[in-house]
Structures are given as C-alpha cells and as structure tokens.
Amino acid sequence: MTTTIDTLSAELARDGEVTIGFNRTKQFLRNPVGLLGWRRSGPPAPQVIVNDFGLWAASDGFPEGGVPWARILEVHITKVNVSSYIDVSIRTPDTPDRRRTLRLPHMLTVDPEDLAKWIVMELMERGNPI
C-alpha cells in the first residue's frame, strides 16, 4: 500500500518539485462561485512548494524565493483546538544565531502530520538532521 509520504517522495524524485494547494473545503470558503463551476476560474495557485532547493509557502513572513534546506532548523506540528498547523523554524540570513518561526498555510490537500513528517525526512536526507 502506498502512503502519502511515499507519493510525495516519488513526485519529488520524478519532477524535482512538489506543489501543494488548498483542499476542497478551503477552496470553497475562498471562492464558492468558482468551485461550484458557475464561473470558470484558473487553476488554484500552489500554497506550498517543496523542491531540491528547499521550501516555499504562500504565507506572511515567508521569504520571496523560499527557504533553503540548510537554513531550516526545525519542523513541528502545533495543535490549536482541533486544528494542526505546521511551524518551520529557520535561521535568518542576516543574523545566523537567531531563529524565526514561520507557519505553513492551513487546510492543504495533504494531512499536516504527513506533510510535516515528509518535510523532516527530506531535511534529514539533505544532511541537516533535526
């Protein structure tokens, strides 16, 4: 049986990049007219991109070009009520001894726990064990 982590790893190996968008519920909350097909809209924009360079997310505070693997210090799940969020702690380029925590978007097509585990596995494979 193929797991989500196996699927993500295979896509990264095959395409060199994995793009993750919002799930159907989040798409509906953001644009009910487009989701119901009453009006054609373009394909949903990716919210998280994982590639050989590192990690990028469409959220406040994330660097424009993404965060290279070497600057990622920690990935963990934060539970708020019934929701799970993925927080990524990074080393800032201007002050390498300081840490900054960024939060990935919520309600993605991949379960947050599976996505966090996979990102940690990719980070460890690139020689930066957590």
Report in angstroms the alpha-carbon separations of 115 from 8, 10, 33.
9, 14, 29
For 15, residues 6+ apart whose C-beta sits below 8 A from its C-beta are none
Angle at CA of residue 105, ends 11 and 41, nearest 5°? 75
Q: Which domains does the chain have, with CATH numbers?
A: 4-125 (2.30.29)
Residue type, 101: T
- Per-residue pLDDT at 130 exceeds 60: no
- What DSSP state is assigned to residue 94? S
Task: Specify the pTM.
Answer: 0.82
Q: Which of 4-13, 91-100, 111-120 has the lowest mean pLDDT?
A: 91-100
Confidence of residue 14 (pLDDT cuts 50, 70, 90): very high
pLDDT digits (tens, 9 = 90+) for 56-78: 999 998 999 999 999 999 999 99
pLDDT digits (tens, 9 = 90+) for 20-41: 998 876 555 555 555 455 555 5
